Amino acid sequence: MTTTKGLEGVVATTSAISSITNDVLTYRGYSIQDLAEHSNFEECIYLLWNGELPTDNQLDIFKNKLAENAGVPNEIFALIKAYPLQTVHPMAVLRTAVSALGVLDPDADRMDLLSNKDKAIRIQAKIATIVAGFARIRQGAEPVAPNKNLGFAANFLYMLKGRIPTEVETRAFDTALVLHADHELNASTFTARVCVATLSDIYSGVTSAIGALKGPLHGGANEQVMNMLEKIGSLDNVNFYIENALASKEKIMGFGHRVYKNGDPRARILKKMADQLTKLDGDARYYEMSVRIEQLLREKKGLLPNTDFYSATLYHALGIEKDLFTPVFAMSRTSGWVAHILEQYSDNRLIRPRAEYNGPGLRPYLAMSER
Ligand code: SDX
């Protein structure tokens, strides 16, 4: 038995959903560059779940199903109102709320494909309403009901801010959702697959994935990037902060990747979007700081930005509070988690690796008097 720490480089399964080969990311064979430019989030969800791009009619039906299922049972917001909202992390709220959705769904434990696809739509549609509703409740306001005439991206911004977003805001946010939808066997997706490989239900799979995404080494990094930018404060302070951080062996959030060694293709697209949006809203401060940080990390550590780095500036420019950045990541990645859950169910084998034991050898029981 050879131990591979962190399963680095270990191929744990085959999958037809997304591929990362030579730093090229594709969903069902379509490059994320093409999808970011020509597609939209609902079309990508359909592609990830069904394997093909939808026809006009199929997309209309799918969008309507998402819109019809975006409402959230009152019990969920009643639960959220009972939480310590000013101190609890939104990812803990999201993890608990999705689990509660499962408690309230009479079909939660049905395992036929049709009911799993119906549950997938319910989870995907409701997760955005939960995140926006939580944010409003935390501000002391009531949740804004979803608007059936808006697409997923616009609806989230509408429910979050209580106003219809501009075309530019909607397009930027929709593209960010496309870019975060799936990413092969990342930690949270692998968590979901391990969970449902026991034939546990889809709500358990998504709930466990939310738990994994929460960590700062994974989806939690985007919020940490914003914390770092706020802590640095201005372009003049960047060099001093970064040099000190690197000297004390700190991990700079938003940099590095287990798979990409020549740069994360999503970061390049998000960087362009952050530049455009911050120029529009007239506050390019965080963008300019980010460019300087990227330059320093490349020069000093040969490290390149990952998807979490420029998404922080982009979400900030969209007026999203920083502790909602990872819930936004979860809203998008739910589409990927569900695709992998359905794929795992379709050709399942319990996922059960081994551990190389390095504890004490066999030894006799010790009576209390001998301890
Ligand atoms: C996501 O897997 C996915 O696909 C994830 C994701 C997705 O879409 O699902 O892409 C989303 O999670 C992106 C990653 C977000 N996390 C962060 O930005 C946190 C900061 N990054 C690091 O913690 C790290 O780069 C990881 C966790 C992303 C990858 O870690 P690895 O592969 O275990 O690499 P490592 O920690 O072994 O680092 C190798 C070397 C080390 O130097 P040495 O100790 O060998 O001298 O590079 C250094 C590290 O110290 N290094 C960093 C660094 N990342 C790696 N040094 C400073 N800052 C960093 N960010």
Which residue has its alpha carbon closest to ligand 1 atom 35?
258
Query: Which ligand 1 atom is nearest residue 309's CA?
Result: 18
Which residues belong to the active site?
257, 308
Query: Which ligand 1 atom is nearest residue 180's CA?
Result: 8
Taking phi over 0 as left and psi of -120 to 50 as alpha, with beta for the rest, 15 belongs to beta
Low-confidence ranges of the chain (pLDDT < 70): none
pLDDT for the residue 320:
97
Four-CA torsion 252, 35, 175, 142, nearest 10 degrees: -120
- The DSSP string of 222-261 is HHHHHHHHHHH-SGGGHHHHHHHHHHTT---TTB--SS-S
Pocket residue to mutate for ligand 1, from 25, 218, 266, most atoms within 8 A of Cβ = 218
Residue type, 319: G
pLDDT for the residue 281:
86
Give the span between the Cα atoms of 238 and 291, in whole angstroms.
10
pLDDT tens by residue, 192-251: 999 999 999 999 999 999 999 999 999 999 999 999 999 999 999 999 999 999 999 999
Four-CA torsion 178, 184, 188, 190, nearest 10 degrees: 150
Distance in angstroms between the alpha carbons of the first and the last residue of the chain: 34
CB 214, CB 89: distance < 8 Å: yes
pLDDT tens by residue, 112-157: 999 999 999 999 999 999 999 999 999 999 999 999 999 999 999 9
pLDDT for the residue 1:
77
Q: 221: Cβ–Cβ under 8 A, 6 or more apart, which residues?
A: 253, 254, 306, 308
Structural domains of the chain in order of their starting residue, each with its CATH number: 12-214+323-346 (1.10.580.10), 221-317 (1.10.230.10)
Query: What pTM was computed for the model?
Result: 0.97
Residue (of 36, 10, 8, 9) closest to 307 by Cα position: 36
CB 123, CB 202: distance < 8 Å: yes
CB 74, CB 130: distance < 8 Å: no
Query: Which ligand 1 atom is nearest residue 301's CA?
Result: 56
CB 133, CB 238: distance < 8 Å: no
How many Å lie between the centroid of ligand 1 and the Cα of residue 79? 36
Pocket, ligand 1, Cβ cutoff 6 A: 6, 183, 186, 217-219, 221, 251-259, 301, 303, 306-308
Residue (of 76, 129, 95, 297) closest to 203 by Cα position: 95
What's the chain's length in residues? 371
How many Å lie between the centroid of ligand 1 and the Cα of residue 311? 17
